[in-house]
Structure 1
Amino acid sequence: MTRAVFAVPGDLHTVTGGYVYERRLLEGLRAVGIDVAHLGLGDSFPDPTAPHLAEATAALAAVGERVPLILDGFLVGAMPTHALAQVSAPMIGIVHHPLAHEEGLDADRRAHLFRTERDNLRLLRAVLVPSAHTARILVAEYDVPAERITVARPGTQRPAAGAPVAAAEEGTPSEPPLVLAVGIQHPRKGHDVLLRALACLIDLPWRAVIVGTPHDRDHVAALHTLRAELGLTPRVRLAGAVSSAERDELYQRADVFALATRYEGYGLVFDEALAHGLPIVSCCTGAVPDTVPRDAGVLAPPDDPAAFAAALRPLLVDRELRGRLAAAAARAGARLPTWHDTAVTAAGVIDAVR
């Protein structure tokens, strides 16, 4: 049996797209016959404390030189290059999206992250990315040879057989229509843009639920304040983190999936929406145009509440249009890869670097 080590800082069960991807990949690799040891590291990355950095440096250097070592994206983007240079194991990096592309960075921080990730990528035998969009960035901006990159598209957990279908797909919409957004409460996800867009649609009947793990208290407080200032508190629920069962129920009850994201390296939630047969309104940014089929969604410019409202309005008022996009979403969702497919792709990379 092939052996490998998968190094991930923080809690592997954190509910974000990146952690979901890595947890499911770890499980999938074991299911296809790779003996993968999970190497848990400190949760302070991508800004590691001195103890967490020392712990990570020693743990990575201790991996045997014949054992493939898979590195989480925070490690690829934030480990000091001199520390990774001490590793003798053949390294495979996961890059969901380059850390320098994150929202809210000052120029010095962005430049530091760019240099660190670019230099670290040169030390890797192979790189796994979730999308062709991220692959293109690594080639064009980070000088990674294309032949070293493999797109391992995220798998999708389809609704269980016999489970209720989404309201939009079933053609019996909620009254009033339910708009669902799923994404961590982080500035990059654009929940503030969605709130401002919904305020432009106050003349229409609708309800909205925004699901997502809080990123930090200040941003969560800002979203609650904005919701109140816009007069949306009676119609918009900021649900925070919810259970898997409640999340599935919301997908089934929803009529439209709307995420006003400022950037996505992939966006697992779009595949979830497609699997549930939901029409999508999002933004033309990052990997979103590659992920959301044209006949299943409408894309607006990022960071433009008025444009997002204009994209969302027809789906709230035109039941027939909503039904057509929902049917296209369901067809696309049925074609999505499974997590087994993702694991098979990654297993081929592990075998190659051995």
Structure 2
Amino acid sequence: MKIALVAEHASPLAAHKGEPTCGASLHTTQLSRHLATLGHRVTVYSRGNAPGLEKRCRIGRGVTVEHLAAGPERALHEHEAAEHTGAFAHGLAARLEEDTPDVINGFGWTSGLAALSAVRTAKRLGTRPPIVHTFHSLNASEQRAALPERPDRARMEAAIAGRVGRIVVTSADQRFELARLGIPRQRVSVVPYGVDPDHFTVEGGTATEPWLPRKEGRHRVIAVTGLGSEGCADVLIDVATRLPEIELLIVAGPAAVELPLDDDARRLELLAKEAGVDDRVTLAGPTDRKELPRLLRSADTYVSAASYDPYGGAVLEAMACGLPVVATATGGLTDAVLDGTTGVLLRTGRPGAIARALRGLILEPTMRHAHGIAGADRARSRFTWHRVANETAQVYQRALSNVTEIPITADDGAHWSG
């Protein structure tokens, strides 16, 4: 198949280079590569979000990335996301006319709008390719996690879901939300986020930095999370005050963060100092993906207090490295972690509940090791990117056999410029 992946705000170049990057970028990178290994030809269409980017480049055999001009050559904040989607859709339509794919897969709501608009407006397509859409997250799910309501986005997500031929979500949680919107379950496929089991492994070296020197046999706990409110790193500092037997390493999530200049980082460092645990809590910046497995293997347990995690990628990488996991039941984590088998899945992210779960693992090393073994086995058997690509390709085949998408129109309320 000739496959077009439309990822307006998730260029795969950073992930291709091994740099810290967002979950959406890593998804498109790994999916495109593994689809190519299955014999498909893949083109990823993304917005030019930095000066000097090549208009067209290859990131592997059978995988091409094309950057379309649409708006400023920089990363955009969420409130700017849709302002340049019209221009992006116009450029995408021209490219689809020149190189028409067999199937189109959009990632994220603005990419879904762009794909629907491009297919509707392109004049020289011949057979219109079916559109598959991947929702990494839905605002309806985010609202249940007490994140901000985005009415325009929620309305457009419902419109996209009602018009594309097939829908892919990364967790059963997202399928539940789509069912509440009236989307038939048979049109929705759950294909989880993935992990690279050749890179994230149980065997291998461990990192000594940026850990503090291990004292009195302290139990090492690691978290890879955003430093803002969603990542709930402040909750983890509270947990550290309840468990004097642990040392905690908080690794800033994928966003580029300069710790000395970051308001959230300074707030967390002050919080740890005021709580009297700054000698046991270390805050580190984003880690190069090449070094991340060594850092994970140097810990004893992985913890996630995130109020919402649609991907679950960091947890999967920790599991693949043999770490037992303590996590709140949210987003992709509900499918990734098997409670009582690969770790502990909590209904609440309250510090007391997390502390009790961690203390239980600390006091039961046999159970802790059993969870680590089971987690590594689950990551390798269920969540490899190769399997993700296979299941996604099956969705494409079903879309090709039943073309039912309805192009979106201006009446649906898209507010575009360009």
TM-score range, shorter chain: 0.7 to 0.9
How much has 1:333 moved relative to structure 2?
Answer: 3.4
How much has 1:83 moved relative to structure 2?
Answer: 7.9
2:139 is the alignment partner of 1:99:
yes
Alignment correspondent of 1:6: 5
Distance, in Å, in 2 between the alignment partners of 1:10 and 1:265 is 15
Distance, in Å, in 1 between the alignment partners of 2:101 and 2:287 is 42
Greater alpha carbon shift after TM alignment, 84-93 vs 16-25 = 84-93
Percent identical residues: 26
State the one-letter code of the partner of 2:254.
T
Distance, in Å, in 1 between the alignment partners of 2:205 and 2:322 is 7
1:46–1:75 CA contact under 8 A, matched in 2: no
- The change in CA–CA distance for 1:289 and 1:176 in structure 2 (over 3 A counts) is same
Distance, in Å, in 1 between the alignment partners of 2:105 and 2:389 is 13
1:1-354 mapped onto 2 (5 Å cutoff): 2-8=1-7, 9-12=9-12, 13=14, 15-41=21-47, 42=49, 43-44=75-76, 46-48=78-80, 52-62=84-94, 63-64=96-97, 67-75=102-110, 86=121, 89-102=129-142, 105-107=147-149, 109=150, 111-140=151-180, 142-159=181-198, 163-164=203-204, 175-202=217-244, 204=245, 206-211=246-251, 212-214=253-255, 217-294=262-339, 295-354=341-400
How much has 1:51 moved relative to structure 2?
Answer: 6.3
1:30–1:36 CA contact under 8 A, matched in 2: yes
How much has 1:95 moved relative to structure 2?
Answer: 0.7
How much has 1:277 moved relative to structure 2?
Answer: 1.6
Greater alpha carbon shift after TM alignment, 35-44 vs 221-230 = 221-230
The secondary structure found in structure 2 opposite 1:310 is: helix
State the one-letter code of the partner of 1:284.
A
Distance, in Å, in 1 between the alignment partners of 2:108 and 2:77 is 10
- The change in CA–CA distance for 1:327 and 1:54 in structure 2 (over 3 A counts) is closer
- The change in CA–CA distance for 1:24 and 1:132 in structure 2 (over 3 A counts) is same
| TM-score, length of structure 2 as denominator length | 0.73
Alignment correspondent of 2:406: none
How much has 1:74 moved relative to structure 2?
Answer: 4.2
How much has 1:199 moved relative to structure 2?
Answer: 1.6
| TM-score, length of structure 1 as denominator length | 0.84
Gaps of 5+ in 2: 15-19, 50-74, 123-127, 208-213, 401-418
For this pair of structures, how many residues does the alignment match? 343
State the one-letter code of the partner of 1:340.
H
